[in-house]
Amino acid sequence: MAQPLTTKVAILGAGKGGTALLDLLHQIPGIVIVGITDKNPSAPGLQRARDLNVPVTDEVCDLVANHGVSLILDVTGDPDMERFVLAHKSPGVEVLSGAATRLLWNLIQHQTKLQAELFHAEKLAGLGSFAAGIAHDINNPLQLILGLAEYLAEEQDPAVVREYARDIVQAVHRTSAICRDLTRYARRSLGEESARVDLSVKLDEALKIARYAVEFQDIAVVRHYAPEPIVTGNPDELLHVFVNLISNAVQAMEQGGTLTLHTGVEGRTVIAGVSDTGCGIPQDLIGRIFEPFFTTKPPGKGTGLGLYNVKSIIAKWHGKICVESRVGMGSTFRIEFPPAEPILPENES
Ligand SMILES: Nc1ncnc2c1ncn2[C@@H]1O[C@H](COP(=O)(O)OP(=O)(O)O)[C@@H](O)[C@H]1O
Ligand SMILES: [Mg+2]
């Protein structure tokens, strides 16, 4: 089999443009970022590079001339740098700078916007299937309120009236909690926002939401949670990831089964897992499940965008996702994240 071609890239400039290039390129198979440099040691891309294990150097000359670099991306916008690179690069090495890198940066911004639209569209498409679950869960407390109100109209004893009134208030709180959870889930997430997120808390929240999206019939839920599985990420996006994985798991267990939610911390890696005892994924399809629009479900049940979005969100937060599956036995989706940065006491930051 032919070896896949690898492009070795050096990035000059670790400001906004350099950081965006780093974020995008490190996700693409076949591209290796051999190093990044910036004359400002606190440029944001340098820290991001360290998180991604991309070498950081202040020796521009060394980076440009060595390491088998095949493409230099100069986003410094500095004409002196352009001349320097052309003078020192090895022959045959290609350089993108000036207007070309600006164009690349514009394309990345455009792609980021499109991706955000796609997340939202997929979420809205999924909400269609929530209707039956929501109607059921809102109807129960409504029926209770109706019954209590009918009794109240006849009831003379003030103590019983107070008790019914308390039950009615509780039932109203239950319905408003459902509405609050769902409106929070449906809103457009601001992809830029990042926070410390406890993965166990997010899995529990996602479980509540997923109960509206898919029918949990004869499904036992088991949780194995580690203390403090905390990562840096966007809370809405991570919720969306887990709702997708849990919905897929439940849809795979049409005859019932066990849904296992797992979090853990292994060294410098924070883990979340969603396992099912469902139909499993045939070996020849496993490579395709993360492709956009790949689905084995009938229209109305699947868009094929769930796992594609899951993978993009995880890559954005520098995580990895892998799947193990056996037909007829079930599947496990495992996500690995870097840990959240520790919060420094104020006088140290
Ligand atoms: N837990 C699972 N068990 C079995 N098959 C799965 C599971 N998760 C995903 N798949 C397969 O991957 C496909 C793509 O999943 P996804 O991207 O979420 O799209 P959708 O759920 O809309 O079909 C599914 O149609 C299904 O064939
Ligand atoms: Mg899905």
What DSSP assignment string belongs to 205-217? Answer: HHHHHHHHHS---
Ligand 1 contact via 248 beta carbon (within 6 Å): yes
Residues 89, 12 share a domain: yes
Residues 164, 88 share a domain: no
Q: Which long-range contacts (CB under 8 A, 24 or more apart) does 186-191 make?
A: 186/123, 186/124, 186/127, 187/236, 188/116, 188/120, 189/116, 189/119, 189/120, 189/234, 189/236, 189/237, 189/240, 190/234, 190/236, 191/112, 191/115, 191/116, 191/119, 191/234, 191/237, 191/316
Residues 45, 133 share a domain: no
For the stretch 137-171, pLDDT in tens is 888 889 999 999 999 988 889 999 999 999 999 99
Looking at 96, 115, 141, which one is the last position of a domain? 96
Residues 164, 231 share a domain: no
Residues 144, 227 share a domain: no
Q: Residue 178 domain-assigned?
A: yes
Residues 331, 222 share a domain: yes
Q: Residue 116 domain-assigned?
A: no
**pLDDT value of residue 344:** 58
| Overall domain count for the chain | 3
Residues 243, 140 share a domain: no
Distance CA 290, CA 201 (A): 25
CA 281–ligand 2 middle distance (angstroms): 13
Looking at 80, 96, 112, which one is the last position of a domain? 96
What parts of the chain have a pLDDT lower than 50?
1, 348-349
Ligand 1 contact via 274 beta carbon (within 6 Å): no
Q: Residue 65 domain-assigned?
A: yes
Residues 332, 199 share a domain: yes
Residue of the CA atom closest to atom 18 of ligand 1: 306
Q: Residue 121 domain-assigned?
A: no
Ligand 1 contact via 246 beta carbon (within 6 Å): no
**pLDDT value of residue 111:** 84
Which residues make up the environment of ion ligand 2, defined by Cβ < 5 Å? 248, 306
**pLDDT value of residue 178:** 85
> 304: domain CATH number?
3.30.565.10
Residues 329, 213 share a domain: yes
**pLDDT value of residue 1:** 47
Residues 76, 37 share a domain: yes
- Confirm if 208 and 271 have CB atoms less than 8 A apart: no
Q: Residue 142 domain-assigned?
A: yes
Residue of the CA atom closest to atom 22 of ligand 1: 302
Ligand 1 contact via 249 beta carbon (within 6 Å): yes
CA 304–ligand 2 middle distance (angstroms): 6
Ligand 1 contact via 278 beta carbon (within 6 Å): yes
Mutation choice for ligand 1 from 289, 291, 313, CB with most ligand atoms inside 8 A: 289
Mutation choice for ligand 1 from 242, 244, 245, 248, CB with most ligand atoms inside 8 A: 248
Residues 204, 333 share a domain: yes
Q: Residue 79 domain-assigned?
A: yes
> 21: domain CATH number?
3.40.50.720
For the stretch 30-58, pLDDT in tens is 899 999 999 899 999 998 888 788 899 88
Q: Residue 107 domain-assigned?
A: no
Q: Which domain holds residue 54?
A: 7-96
- Confirm if 191 and 112 have CB atoms less than 8 A apart: yes
Q: Residue 291 domain-assigned?
A: yes
**pLDDT value of residue 345:** 59
Looking at 47, 74, 96, which one is the last position of a domain? 96
CA 259–ligand 1 middle distance (angstroms): 15
Residues 180, 90 share a domain: no
